[in-house]
Amino acid sequence: MAKTPQVGEQAPDFELPGTEGPFRLSEHRGERVVLLFYPGDNTMVCTKQFCSYRDRASDFAALNATVVGISSQDVASHEDFVAKHSLNVPLLADVDKDVAHKYGAVNALGVKRAVIVIDEQGIVRHRHDHLLGLDYQSVDELKAVLDELPAPAAQ
């Protein structure tokens, strides 16, 4: 298995299809990126998680980061999940779990809930692996993590 990127290490690049078209991590250099790995569309905790972001859309937008959800369902499943709940987070289809493996976001049951925050230079600055996957990081918790990151260097 590929080494899990730890805080301070370069985030592995990837490209996945998603509900808003293809997403390639390297195309988001210069932006903060939050990867939200989650077990599955329309499951109880995942629905609660993504609906909580939807319900606080203005606070979520104020995070000033590119945020994407990643799980192993296909794009059609993600599109149904987004439409059913009017979600505001693009969802990426990691059907073969390759990206989840690169990021150490898998367990015996499949993709596990994990949050990876990547800075403007592509370095992992925060990771939170949920032990049981029965909870998730709220908008306020994500904001606190992003607020702790150093300001980007002037270009």
Rounded to an integer, what distance in angstroms lies between the CA atom of residue 6 and that of residue 16?
21
Q: What is the separation of C-alpha 117 from the centre of its chain, rounded to a whole number of angstroms? A: 8
**Of the candidates 34, 45, 31, 8, which has an alpha carbon nearest to the alpha carbon of residue 130?**
45
Q: Using CB atoms within 10 Å of the CB of residue 41, give its burial: 0 to 12 exposed, 13 to 18 middle, 19+ buried.
A: buried
Marked catalytic residue, from 25, 34, 46, 105: 46
Coil, strand or helix at 34: strand
Q: Is there a catalytic annotation at residue 51?
A: no
The residues annotated with a catalytic role in the active site are 46
